[in-house]
Amino acid sequence: MSFAAARSQDADDALQHVARGLARDPAAALAQLGALLADNPHSVYGRQLKAVALRLLARAPEALAVLEPLVAEHPGFAEAQYELGLCLRALGRLAESAEALRRAVTLKGDFAPAWKSLGDALLAQDNKTEGEAALGQFAALSARDPQLRRALQALQQGQLALAEQLCRDYLKRRPADVTAIRLLAELGLKLGRYADAEKLLSRCLELAPDFLLARYNYTFALIRLGRHQQALAELDTLLAAEADNPNYLILKGATLVRLARYDEALAIYERLLAQSDSQPQVQLSYGHTLKTVGRQAQAIAAYRRAAALDPELGEAWWSLANLKTVQFDSADLAAMRDCLNMPAKSVEQRAQLLFALGKACEDAALHEESFAHYAEGNRLRRTTLHYSTAENAERTDATIELFTPEFLAARADFGCEKSDPIFIVGLPRSGSTLIEQILASHSQIEGTMELPDVIAMSRRLGGRRDMREKSRYPGVLAELSPAQWAALGEEYLERTRVQRRGKPFFIDKMPNNFAHIGFIHLMLPNAKIIDARRHPIACCFSNFKQHFARGQRFSYELGELGAYYRDYLRLMDHFDAVLPGRVLRVQYEDTVADLEGQVRRLLDYCGLPFEQACLDFHNNKRAVHTASSEQVRRPVYRDALSQFRPFLPQLQPLIDALGPEVMARYPL
């Protein structure tokens, strides 16, 4: 039975009047429905409205008690199935919610709100493919023009260039069509044109402030641009409209983590899990936050709960492996091997499972099987990424050619004079988190996280809208005036202020900033720069074993890893030559061998007095975001120095890519 049929059967003017005022005053509506249902207790439409009112009053269990017999009696009533989906969502039962919403859209294919809610439920379960398809159906139902529908279809089929052309042609005729503006912005998000997408979505929301899908896209664009405080405000607006939307809540939790507001993030996840602890994606987010704040035992429990709920969820197994201190047992190994025989949820989940299996086999000294799993995980991950060794070498060449002694001397007095930042650069897995933890244990230094601001600023200066275009960076730096260099330094300090809590100095541990040393030096000439370095085989193999959530595209193929490390070395050698003494190099192996000596050397470079807490860094309870979070909560250990040696036969392609000159500098 459809909504229209139910209304024609038993809905009178009084019920329609209640329906119109339901969202505005659900308590009054519920009172009116009580009287109406007393006269007609079997009213299909009236019972559905009662369930809506109860859900809006946060009385979801009572709403469910109304809905379950209703849908059993009238399984073809699409609106009741939709309301059941919303009610189950409010109770945290996302899988059941999705099933009810699937029934709703099956019964009524043009039911736009049900398609949107289905997309939200699927995305909250990390079912990106089906979730985006459902939201695409919602968008298609909002698009009445055939050309716009063709553009949506092209987007869903991955024909991005065609979708963009159709959309732009349509907007020439109807420049204020918010559906088309949002679609063009979604294309921008898929292409990495976050600034363009943000502008389009801002315009969209000016025209249609209640367009929730556009606001959700806008929030995502703000997060990608590093504007987390603004994103948080947008999420609060979304939640004011849909207080129990799991996507909004999970995204708010992640945004609060980025703003170092961990207690608030944990409260959101605990609220969701109190409704139902059978939500693997929420368990994962909860575990990630627990790990960051050092509550390891609880993080492990959350990850294991996620794996138990969904054994095919590779991210749950990888999250355990990524703690680095968890030793998998034979039962874990058997469970993960069994998962290999199950259909993969996605390439990403399959890759994460393989990385976890590699770690489990390495723990069990099954080195050949371990490497096979690492290699296959890397191969799968590499198929999803664009990376070019030639392009990276070209960028390195351009940086070396620009930052000559003459170029630097002509700009010796440029930039912002403040000395607050301490940059730790290098490759990931090079010991940078250890250096960060040591320095952040000093009373005058704030530890933050891997801050994206230098990279975001360099991309803006480069003017490249996506990976297919050529950037003007670093050449554009030659065009900047003294005032612009000072403004850039001030901008960086302002952008990062949200991460600070009042100490004189703070750390930016984004490793990829090594490519921007010249940029950093000219905008912040008094900032400290520390190069964390590790033996190339140990460092590169540790990267090869790591599944990165984002970035580090060079790390999934041994030859590309070796070439990237070689470019890193020659760039650092160049800055050592043109800015002697500007960068402090700290070798991981030296820190392990002589902790106190290296700690004193670090503090001398930073111009700070020695403090015993820096030697006792493992006692620091600060939040740590990187893969080494649990390792730096232990005293210095020597285990990592030789972990690569059993794999040397398989690492020959890496050794060949590094080349004889690098290997002569760093012999085995």
Q: What is the DSSP string of 173-209?
A: H-TT-HHHHHHHHHHHHHTT-HHHHHHHHHHHHHH-T
What pLDDT, on the 0 to 100 scale, is given for residue 613? Answer: 95
In angstroms, the CA 63 to CA 450 distance is 45
Q: Which of 550, 553, 551 is nearest to 563 (CA)?
A: 553
Confidence class of residue 465 from pLDDT cuts 50, 70 and 90? low
In a domain, 666, yes or no: no
Q: What is the CATH number of the domain that holds 421?
A: 3.40.50.300
Specify whether the CB–CB gap between 6 and 73 falls below 8 A. no
* Diameter over CA atoms, the chain: 91
Q: How many CB atoms lie within 10 A of CB 613?
A: 14
Q: Position of tokens 């492996």?
A: 321
In a domain, 552, yes or no: yes
Confidence class of residue 541 from pLDDT cuts 50, 70 and 90? very high
Residues near 496 by Cβ (< 8 Å), separated by ≥ 6? 421, 448, 451, 453, 506, 508
Specify whether the CB–CB gap between 540 and 561 falls below 8 A. yes
Specify whether the CB–CB gap between 514 and 425 falls below 8 A. yes
Q: How many CB atoms lie within 10 A of CB 270?
A: 12
The angle, 0 to 180 degrees and rounded to 10, between the axes of the packed helices 652-665 and 536-544 is: 150
In angstroms, the CA 558 to CA 636 distance is 28
Q: What is the DSSP string of 65-107?
A: HHHHHHHHH-TT-HHHHHHHHHHHHHTT-HHHHHHHHHHHHHH
What pLDDT, on the 0 to 100 scale, is given for residue 252? Answer: 96
In a domain, 600, yes or no: yes
State phi, psi for 574 to the nearest 5 degrees. -65, -45
Specify whether the CB–CB gap between 506 and 420 falls below 8 A. yes
Q: How many CB atoms lie within 10 A of CB 396?
A: 18
CA dist 580 → 203, 512, 528, 604, 658 (Å): 49, 21, 13, 17, 25
The token duo for 617 is: 């860094």
In a domain, 471, yes or no: yes
**629 pLDDT higher than 60:** no
Domain boundary among 101, 124, 142: 142
Which class for 450: exposed (0-12), middle (13-18), buried (19 or more C-beta within 10 A)?
Answer: buried
Confidence class of residue 367 from pLDDT cuts 50, 70 and 90? very high
Q: Which of 41-45, 73-77, 150-154, 618-622 has the lowest mean pLDDT?
A: 618-622
Confidence class of residue 641 from pLDDT cuts 50, 70 and 90? confident
What domain count does the chain have?
2
Name the DSSP class of 447. Answer: E
State phi, psi for 529 to the nearest 5 degrees. -130, 120
Domain boundary among 95, 122, 142: 142
- In sign, the C-alpha dihedral spanning 306, 308, 311, 314 is positive
**88 pLDDT higher than 70:** yes
In angstroms, the CA 39 to CA 219 distance is 47
Name the DSSP class of 246. Answer: H
In angstroms, the CA 472 to CA 455 distance is 14
**467 pLDDT higher than 70:** no
Q: What is the CATH number of the domain that holds 36?
A: 1.25.40.10
Q: What is the number of helices (H) and of strands (E) in the chain?
A: 35, 5
Domain boundary among 142, 166, 194: 142
In a domain, 549, yes or no: yes
In angstroms, the CA 38 to CA 246 distance is 35
The token duo for 641 is: 């120095």
Residues near 294 by Cβ (< 8 Å), separated by ≥ 6? 621, 623, 624, 629, 633
In a domain, 630, yes or no: yes
- Percent of the chain at pLDDT exceeding 70: 95
Residues near 28 by Cβ (< 8 Å), separated by ≥ 6? 21
Mean pLDDT over 347-364 rounds to: 94
Strands 583-587 and 528-533: parallel
Domain, as residue range, for 451:
415-642
Rg of the Cα trace of the chain? 28
Mean pLDDT over 523-548 rounds to: 97
Q: How many CB atoms lie within 10 A of CB 555?
A: 26
Confidence class of residue 14 from pLDDT cuts 50, 70 and 90? confident
**98 pLDDT higher than 50:** yes
In a domain, 292, yes or no: no
**220-237 pLDDT per residue, tens:** 999 998 899 999 999 999
Mean pLDDT over 158-165 rounds to: 89
**436 pLDDT higher than 50:** yes
What pLDDT, on the 0 to 100 scale, is given for residue 625? Answer: 58
State phi, psi for 362 to the nearest 5 degrees. -65, -45
**246-268 pLDDT per residue, tens:** 889 999 999 999 998 999 999 99
In angstroms, the CA 50 to CA 30 distance is 6
In a domain, 507, yes or no: yes
